[in-house]
């Protein structure tokens, strides 16, 4: 369904000029499978009339290759929590760069960041760094398997992503290239359904190494649920792992584990740790973590040993990011601005009679939205339309996840764009989306075929 762009009106501005982006896209796809290095940023995730390539950012604003300016949400897949090019973090990283990036022995700064992380994540005794969240969740699984001597892993069925590695991707729609034997070692329980987890333990006695999930994603835990999961894991001799990639430094400086008062045996962090610099962490109890060390008499666990895992300027960026989080109440700001944005968007949806069709979901520090069609079924086409209308008005919002740099003025400007996008959404519900959508709809990341 490809259509010519609509003529412009004041409330429905002409689409922006993306000619440089369009010209570069074929080359990007010729050189890079998927045209980008992260599927969630891919062309199939955005409307056709979108910025194809970004060149710079400042705060919550970003500019594309054609010079178009946007207010961004969920910047860098939620990694840029303070703001793009955030000066104190850049200064800390560049000071460290002058001193060298990587040596033959550990850099002192590895111990400094370990101390910073262990000060804020108070249930953990030890920490190991890496570059990607996927690597640390995979390391947590390996460690749990080594510690328990068991093979099976249990994850949460409703939560969409834990790692690019086989033990997880093997359970998704896009599992080509992954042996079934590996996929079959990962089982799924339902969130807020303790019985579904108990059933798995009953069906596989003494075989479950770990239960890994996000303490909270879109739905808050039922009272006592997380405590009961921990109790069940301990009763069954399995390791409880919280994936804090999204919740870490958002729900609370101490993570969702602090927010909900349940300390897992292991937990994994990334994204918010370094304001966009590549840094992730596996954290946990000494008893388990020490298996990755060189001072025990158990079989050795080859735990996170990467050339770039402790690249010094990423560690410096992370130390500075954590310092700013602690000193400037960043988490409070995220919740406050998220709440304000949620109110503005909900008001706009109500004024445009979109209740039941457009819904803001999640905690204020981590807002996403659902789009539904005339029959109230989830709709990628309506998501595309909403994205398209926002982009025309200078807002890129695959989510409504705010950063420390989202000011009231940014939110007000966003609210105006959202109101106009909602107005068009309503018209598309009434008159048919074909008339309003320019180009093909977006697609989910996890799918079997292109």
Contact footprint for ligand PLP (CB under 6 A): 77, 132-134, 137, 161-164, 214, 243, 245-246, 270, 280
Give whichever of 77 and 428 is closer to ligand PLP, judged by the CB atom. Answer: 77
8 A C-beta contact, residue 99 and residue 109: no
Give whichever of 279 and 433 is closer to ligand PLP, judged by the CB atom. Answer: 279
Give whichever of 12 and 243 is closer to ligand PLP, judged by the CB atom. Answer: 243
Q: Distance between CA 387 and CA 311 in Å, rounded?
A: 36
Q: In the beta sheet, which residues pair with residue 71?
A: 61, 395
Give whichever of 87 and 306 is closer to ligand PLP, judged by the CB atom. Answer: 306
8 A C-beta contact, residue 18 and residue 64: yes
Give whichever of 280 and 301 is closer to ligand PLP, judged by the CB atom. Answer: 280
248 Cβ contact list (under 8 Å, min separation 6): 255, 256, 267, 269, 270, 271, 272, 273
Shortest Å distance, C-beta 41 to ligand PLP: 11
Q: 311: how many CB neighbours lie within 10 A of its CB?
A: 22
Q: Distance between CA 207 and CA 199 in Å, rounded?
A: 13
Residue sitting closest to ligand PLP (CB): 133
For the range 373-382, what are the long-range contacts, defined as Cβ-Cβ under 8 Å and sequence gap of 24 or more? 373/429, 373/433, 374/429, 380/441, 380/442, 380/443, 380/444, 381/433, 381/437, 381/441, 382/357, 382/358, 382/425, 382/428, 382/433
Give whichever of 163 and 405 is closer to ligand PLP, judged by the CB atom. Answer: 163
Shortest Å distance, C-beta 405 to ligand PLP: 21
Shortest Å distance, C-beta 450 to ligand PLP: 21
Give whichever of 352 and 403 is closer to ligand PLP, judged by the CB atom. Answer: 403
Shortest Å distance, C-beta 112 to ligand PLP: 22
Give whichever of 278 and 291 is closer to ligand PLP, judged by the CB atom. Answer: 278
Q: Distance between CA 152 and CA 214 in Å, rounded?
A: 18
8 A C-beta contact, residue 442 and residue 398: no
Q: 376: how many CB neighbours lie within 10 A of its CB?
A: 9
Six-digit token string for 34: 């998927």
Give whichever of 214 and 420 is closer to ligand PLP, judged by the CB atom. Answer: 214
Six-digit token string for 75: 């910047």
171 Cβ contact list (under 8 Å, min separation 6): 155, 183, 186, 188
Shortest Å distance, C-beta 280 to ligand PLP: 6
Shortest Å distance, C-beta 80 to ligand PLP: 13
Residues listed for the chain: 450
Shortest Å distance, C-beta 329 to ligand PLP: 24
Q: Distance between CA 252 and CA 255 in Å, rounded?
A: 5
Measuring CA to CA, how many Å separate 262 from each of 223, 224, 229, 256?
12, 10, 10, 8
Shortest Å distance, C-beta 11 to ligand PLP: 35
CA dihedral over 180, 184, 189, 195, signed as positive or negative: positive
Give whichever of 79 and 414 is closer to ligand PLP, judged by the CB atom. Answer: 79
Shortest Å distance, C-beta 152 to ligand PLP: 20
Which among 417, 446, 403, 407 has a CA at the least distance from the CA of 174? Answer: 446
């Amino acid at each position: 369904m490809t259509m010519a762009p609509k003529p412009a009106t004041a409330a429905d501005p002409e689409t922006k000029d993306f000619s440089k982006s369009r010209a570069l896209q074929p080359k990007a796809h010729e050189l890079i499978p998927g045209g980008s290095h992260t599927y969630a940023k891919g062309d199939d995730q955005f409307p056709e009339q979108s910025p194809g390539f970004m060149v710079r950012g400042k705060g919550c604003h970003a500019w594309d290759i054609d010079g178009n300016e946007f207010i961004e949400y969920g910047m860098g897949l939620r990694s840029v929590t303070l703001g793009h090019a955030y000066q104190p973090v850049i200064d800390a990283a560049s000071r460290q760069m002058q001193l060298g990036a990587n040596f033959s022995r550990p850099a002192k700064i590895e111990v400094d960041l370990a101390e910073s992380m262990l000060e804020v994540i108070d249930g953990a005794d030890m920490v190991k760094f890496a570059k990607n969240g996927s690597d640390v969740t995979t390391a947590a699984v390996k460690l749990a398997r080594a510690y328990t001597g068991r093979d099976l892993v249990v994850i949460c069925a409703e939560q969409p992503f834990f790692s690019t590695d086989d033990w997880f991707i093997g359970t998704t729609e896009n599992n080509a290239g992954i042996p079934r034997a590996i996929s079959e070692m990962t089982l799924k329980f339902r969130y807020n359904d303790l019985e579904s987890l108990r059933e798995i333990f009953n069906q596989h006695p003494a075989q479950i190494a770990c239960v890994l999930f996000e303490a909270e994603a879109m739905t808050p835990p039922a009272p006592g649920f997380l405590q009961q999961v921990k109790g069940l894991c301990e009763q069954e001799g399995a390791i409880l792992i919280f994936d804090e990639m999204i919740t870490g430094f958002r729900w609370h400086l101490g993570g969702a584990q602090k927010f909900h008062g349940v300390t897992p045996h292991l937990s994994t962090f990334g994204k918010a740790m370094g304001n966009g610099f590549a840094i992730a962490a596996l954290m946990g109890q000494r008893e388990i973590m020490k298996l990755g060390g060189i001072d025990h008499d158990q079989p050795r666990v080859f735990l996170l040993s990467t050339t770039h895992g402790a690249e010094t300027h990423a560690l410096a960026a992370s130390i500075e990011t954590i310092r700013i989080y602690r000193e400037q109440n960043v988490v409070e700001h995220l919740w406050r601005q998220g709440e304000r944005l949620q109110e503005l968007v909900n008001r706009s949806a109500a004024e445009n009679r979109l209740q039941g069709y457009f819904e803001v979901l999640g905690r204020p520090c981590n807002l996403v939205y659902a789009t539904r069609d005339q029959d109230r079924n989830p709709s990628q086409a309506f998501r595309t339309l909403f994205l398209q209308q926002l982009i025309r008005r200078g807002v890129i919002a695959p989510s409504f996840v705010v950063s420390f740099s989202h000011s009231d003025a940014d939110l007000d400007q966003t609210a105006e764009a959202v109101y106009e996008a909602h107005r068009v959404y309503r018209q598309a519900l009434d008159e048919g989306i074909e008339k309003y959508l320019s180009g093909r709809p977006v697609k989910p990341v996890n799918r079997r075929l292109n």
